[in-house]
Structure 1
């Protein structure tokens, strides 16, 4: 499918590629990312575009398939006259696109948390790196839940790497990883029931999940059906956001824990304005996720850099990206020109009885991205943030 987003004009538009899945296992969260992207484009065009030219999006649905991402990225760069691509959720899709983007000297803006330990001159990473979510979540769990972890993930690159990083942090605190299990994408209820039986035998203090997409609700429902209580054995996850929670009953979601820079329930003027605008454009029932917020602000950052550079050529644009900041819904963000990652503000939230995220810990300021975790340890964090009591 090809969709031309807002920007029809006699003036030649700036064309950008947009690759988010409307179908497939991660469609729910990627639909929210598309909504954030198109909202930003609407705002830019309503303000007069960039240097007097509208922004036009060429949008395709890669259906959550890495090979489709690769094929469509090549089509955008070679047939559609695009230099900048905005898209991707699973790390497998980013890794499928990057060789094509690099070969054609394009630039990929990737708005999703990921496992870190990567740098490409042709990629701008606007989701959280491990030092902006994993380390804070590990410290919170170890101080509030206990040190016996059970890990479960989807069977692809991000869960393996994320679990490796989390294991390092747990071991630093003399904790124990009791088991580490991976399930295929699209696993059914029976698979997760077997996992919960293993959880019950292991008796951990916390389950760390890197299960993604539609499988997330199946995991949480299996936890609930097994009679496990989130108050004493929560699922903590970096990949469970508003889109995944929307697919499960509130009583299934209640009590579980997530780390992210943004939540739909953030009670700041900027966050409230963004959520209201997002829902006006995309519908009141569309979840507003951290991935959607990153997809939104990265378009604004990119177009500000384009305006300063006067071109969408990646090299001049990259030079300008490191010089500008944007007041995003989560707070002020900017790109670190040394590694193409983004300063973000870590937060931890717990789901309440209505299935709404309530922030229980806030770093209080943006954290410099360190995708290789060169200088990070758990001891960096206890005094830097603030724990917030749930009311």
Structure 2
């Protein structure tokens, strides 16, 4: 990586610094060109006064609310912290909060409202890939800017999206490698029936085929599905070494409770989940999840000075029994990265902010992150963890340093055909 010149960004974080670099590049293969006119980055976004509006768009109702409400909370906390230090370019940030309602057309509709009617400078939002895919053409058409905070299946890059959650080589691929190294060769793939699980499993199957693993079964259920008795019977029959779980939302509540009802404990069958973090553990109940594995880039137990402050502040704001999680931390980080890019650009204009964002570093609660100017993803440390009886997650393994994002898996020979048609 190029040497980075440090630049202090006044009033953006508590005892945190930013680093800026001039490295750049073009967007990946599937990135489309945005129109020159900007609905979101205009003078209207800042109102020409002492405030600037930003959008927050998450599912505050429906099956995904179990996961998304607290991401909204962490983004709101970041805004409050930045405002307490003077705001951005001397303007206080005013959030306009909308409910995507776990409905992908609603996400597109609300995104259009935020950009066209509210004239927000940027939007923080989404969880499922279906919600992101629904919003993407709106942001590209109106030249808005979306900060997407959740791990996803990769094979995408848009000039109008910054991806602060993990892409595939920062979660899916290393977690499969970890399981293979632990002797888990036979995989049962279980997911919700939409783009993220299906694409993730397409990648996993290619990886297993190349590395001597085996896919013994592949099953999908609709989002919000609650009867897993037939699936669990199939798991028993297939006798896998591991269930790789890409279920999302409250379907996980039903699956893990019914798994326990079937007398299948973590000691009997390993499951590794990529959409269950501390908030979901709290909602499902640690008794049903203790001993099971997860793959993320951040846990509440992550040992950094910045995370200690983050957790303390979050509990002080939202209650002592509240927990933090990877998507919450990625949403929080997104707000600070956007604010840093705006300060560096000296403008809220979308195109200027995108250019300024290239190479920005920040000491986030998860550790150092860097915006990759080539694809607008960020460098992230990979972590495998085990859910504990108290609901916290114990880190078992990490990548040692932040991993460069590779959304199209160009660094893997076995993945060379995966991006076709994506």
TM norm structure 1: 0.91
Checking the alignment, whether the CA contact within 8 Å between 1:29 and 1:289 is kept in structure 2 is no
Secondary structure at the counterpart of residue 287 of structure 1: coil
* Secondary structure of the structure 2 residue equivalent to 1:246: helix
Asked if structure 2 preserves the Cα contact closer than 8 Å seen for 1:135 and 1:377, the reply is no
Post-superposition CA distance 1:287-321 (Å, at most 9, x none): 31100000001100101110111211111101111
- Contact persistence 1:17–1:76 (CA under 8 A): yes
SS at match of 2:123: strand
SS at match of 2:283: coil
**Distance in structure 2 (CA, Å) of the matches to 1:46 and 1:220:** 42
Partner of 1:214: 250
1:156 partnered with 2:181 = no
Secondary structure of the equivalent of 2:363? strand
Q: Is the 8 A contact 1:178 1:204 kept in 2?
A: yes
Q: How does 1:16-35 map to 2 (within 5 A)?
A: 16-35=54-73
1:70 pairs, out of 108, 111, 132, with 108
SS at match of 2:55: strand
- Secondary structure at 2:228's aligned position in 1? helix
Matching residue of 1:359: 395
2:382 paired with 1:346: yes
Any conservation in 1 of the 2:66–2:283 contact (CA below 8 Å)? no
State the 4+ residue runs in structure 1 displaced beyond 4 angstroms.
none
8 Å CA contact retained: 1:336, 1:343: yes
Measured on the aligned residues, the alpha-carbon RMSD in Å equals: 1.5
| 2:182 alignment counterpart | 144
Number of the residue aligned with 2:20: none
Aligned length: 368
TM-score, reference length from structure 2: 0.85
- Partner residue of 1:236? 272
Kindly state the Cα deviation for residue 10 of structure 1 after the two structures are TM-superposed: 11
Q: Equivalents in 1 of 2:248, 2:60: separation in Å?
A: 15
Map of 1:107 onto structure 2: 145
Deviation digits for residues 275-294 of structure 1 (CA, Å, limit 9, x no counterpart)? 11112122233331100000
Please name the residue that 2:373 is paired with: 337
> Retained in 2: the 8 A contact 1:145–1:206?
no
1:246 equivalenced with 2:278 (yes/no): no
Tell me how far apart the structure 2 counterparts of residues 206 and 40 of structure 1 sit (CA, whole Å).
38
For residues 73-109 of structure 1, give each alpha carbon's deviation from its aligned partner in whole angstroms, at most 9, with x where no partner exists. 1111111011311100000000111111111111111
Q: Distance in 2 between matches of 1:145 and 1:289?
A: 28
Unaligned runs of 5+ in 1: 1-8, 379-391
Partner of 1:227: 263
Task: Report the equivalent of 2:364.
Answer: 328
Query: What SS does the corresponding residue of 1:367 show, helix, strand or coil?
Result: coil
Work out the CA distance in 1 between the residues paired with 2:399 and 2:268: 25
Secondary structure in 2 matching 1:113: coil
Structure 1: how far apart are the matches of 2:412 and 2:398?
Answer: 18
* Residue 47 of structure 1: how far off its partner (Å): 0.6
Moved more, 288-297 or 144-153: 144-153
Cα separation, 2, equivalents of 1:69 and 1:283: 29
Give secondary structure in 2 for the equivalent of 1:59: strand
Q: Secondary structure at the match of 1:301?
A: helix
Give SS of 2:368's match: strand
Distance 1:57 1:265 in 2: 29
Offset, 1:63: 0.9
Match of 2:407 in 1: 371
Rounded to whole Å, the distance in 2 between the matches of 1:197 and 1:323 is 49
Greater relative CO, 1 or 2 (CA 8 Å, sep 6+): 2
| SS of corresponding position for 1:97 | helix
Q: Which residues in structure 2 correspond to 1:37-186 (within 5 Å)?
A: 37-186=75-224
